Amino acid sequence: MVMGLVPEEEEDKLFKRLVDYYSKIYPGLKFSRKEVTLTVKEIGDIYYTYPGEEAEATAAEKMRHISQAINGGYSTPVILLKKKDRMVLLDGHRRIRVAFSQGLEWKALLLVPSKDTLFGIEGMILGKVKDLYGK
Provide the pLDDT for residue 3. Answer: 54
pTM assigned to the model: 0.93
Q: Which domain holds residue 107?
A: 8-133
| Residue 64 belongs to some domain of the structure | yes
Q: Which residues pair with 80 in a beta bridge?
A: 89, 110
* Of 60, 42, 64, residue with least CA distance to 108: 42
| Residue 86 belongs to some domain of the structure | yes
Q: What is the pLDDT of residues 66-84, one digit of tens each?
A: 999 998 999 999 999 999 9
| Residue 1 belongs to some domain of the structure | no
| Residue 48 belongs to some domain of the structure | yes
DSSP 8-state assignment for residue 4: T
Question: How many domains does the chain divide into?
Answer: 1
- For the cut 70, the answer to whether the pLDDT of residue 1 exceeds it is no
| CATH, residue 99 | 3.90.1530
- Between 122 and 4, where is the model more confident? 122
Cα separations in angstroms, 38 against 12, 21, 100: 18, 25, 10
Q: 36: Cβ–Cβ under 8 A, 6 or more apart, which residues?
A: 107, 108, 110
Q: What is the pLDDT of residues 89-113, one digit of tens each?
A: 999 999 999 999 999 999 999 999 9
